[in-house]
Amino acid sequence: MHKATPPPQPWRGLLPVLAALLTACGGSVTAATAPATSNRWTLVWSDEFDGAAGSVPNPAHWNHDLGNAESSGWGNHEFQYYTANARNAQLDGAGMLVITAEKTSNPGPCWNSKPCEFTSARIHTQGKVGFTHGKVEARMKLPAGQGIWPAFWALGTDLATAGWPRSGEIDIMEFVGKTPNTTYGTLHGPGYSGAQGIAKPREFGAPVASDFHTYTIIKRPNEIVWQVDGVEFHRLTPAQLPAGGTWVFEKPFFVILNLAIGGDWPGAPDATTPLPARMLVDWVRIYKEE
């Protein structure tokens, strides 16, 4: 998705179990480094979104990014103004997080000095939950429509000091309404960021938004694997980087969920775009490998 808390903003569209430490819910859990390819997993953190209808995401797990113009349109000329309002991110009382993008009247300024026309939410676990290696996945049902741009992704926890793309970005899942049968997994780092991000499409052969799917990465030393519904479709190692590219992924990352409207990649919404648009998240889970 790109661009997280402070600028400089990454270019999101062509966008842990800490190896020895997981920070979650304000505490910490120490976990031993596991063999690299056991394919045996132990759950170390999850948010199942079991809470009262209308309640906000657990603040022990999630922070909100806010605004639009304040972050230069999130680096992608997006049209939504992110809020912490429960209208934009709340539990439905049936075990789901619902992130809602809706048309509204002037919630705040957009990057183009005009009032934004939409609100939505972008939540992340920075400073609360992180991973260095392990398996990270979410079960989600995505909204459809022109200009719709939901994402499940991760940024290095050193974003504020290293800047983007040196912080590294792992787009676990991105979806744009103009390619309704396809999601994307992408890696961004020094020498392969923005439009040069190393991306691979996952073709469904049917509308992605018609059902729930589980989107996963497996992050091992010097390897990242992408899966949908347990089936691998993309794998990268340092040897596959372009000449001059730097692998910056052997460090902690945090998780991001958001629903953007418009931007350089998906294009603007139009009269056919179904609004409000709702992104349903059944759960987010992080595992260590035994």
For CA atoms 135, 256, 59, 137, the dihedral sign is: negative
pLDDT at 290: 92
Of 117, 137, 174, 289, which residue is the catalytic one?
Answer: 174
Q: For 249-288, give one letter per residue: b (16+ CB within 10 A) or e.
A: bebbbbbbbbbbbbbbbbeebeeebebbbbbbbbbbbbbb
CATH architecture of the region 12-61+92-104+123-289:
Sandwich (2.60)
pLDDT at 30: 29
CA distance 110 to 222: 39
CA distance 136 to 219: 8
Q: Which of 98, 202, 78 is nearest to 140 (CA)?
A: 98
Of 78, 117, 169, 289, which residue is the catalytic one?
Answer: 169
Contact (CB, 8 A) for 263 and 151: no
Q: Which residue ranges in the chain fall short of pLDDT 50?
A: 3-35
Judge whether 169 counts as a catalytic residue.
Answer: yes
pLDDT at 49: 98
Per the structure block, which two tokens stand in for 192? 């392969």
Q: Which of 3, 1, 4, 10 is nearest to 190 (CA)?
A: 10
CA distance 207 to 104: 27
CA distance 246 to 186: 15
The amino acid sitting at 148 is I
CA distance 240 to 222: 11
Task: For the chain, give every domain's residue range.
Answer: 12-61+92-104+123-289
pLDDT at 13: 38
pLDDT tens digits, 48-68: 999 999 999 999 999 999 999
Q: Which of 124, 12, 116 is nearest to 74 (CA)?
A: 12
pLDDT tens digits, 131-140: 999 999 999 9
Let me know if 161 is exposed, middle or buried by CB neighbors in 10 A (0-12, 13-18, 19+).
exposed
